[in-house]
Amino acid sequence: MSVEADVGVDFRPSRHGWRFGNDWPDGAAVIVAGRTLGRVHGGLCGGMASTAGQAWSSGRLLPALSRPPTDGDVAAQLWRAQVRGLDLP
């Protein structure tokens, strides 16, 4: 038996996603065990997608930042979401 259904999702990247791309000219802090080990200049797309999806599913809008944060709460949140997404032991 085949069932076809149209599924619609109201998530719109232009409204619910981050306002900046996955490009960190000043580098985002790499924090492990509370210590900054260096900086990355890209590669946080998993954390960006995860946090955008979580905010959308809970009915919250993301902070309207036009530039990627290099330090602070938002940068740390993106880094933690990125590491969680890697499912490391």
Closest CA to 71 of 45, 39, 47, 42: 39
- How would DSSP label each residue in 17-58? S-SS-S--TT-EEEEETTEEEEEESS--HHHHHHHHHHHHHT
The residues pairing with 40 across neighbouring beta strands, listed in sequence order, are 28
Query: In sequence order, which residues have a C-beta less than 8 Å from that of residue 26 and are 6 or more positions away?
Result: 39, 68, 70
Q: What is the pLDDT of residue 46?
A: 94
Residue 1 pLDDT class (50, 70, 90 cuts)? low
- Two tokens at 44? 């946080």
Locus of tokens 């602070």:
72
pLDDT in tens, 26-76: 888 888 888 888 998 988 999 999 999 999 999 999 999 999 998 889 998
**What is the Cα–Cα distance from 8 to 36, expressed in whole angstroms?**
41
Indicate whether 86 pLDDT > 90: no
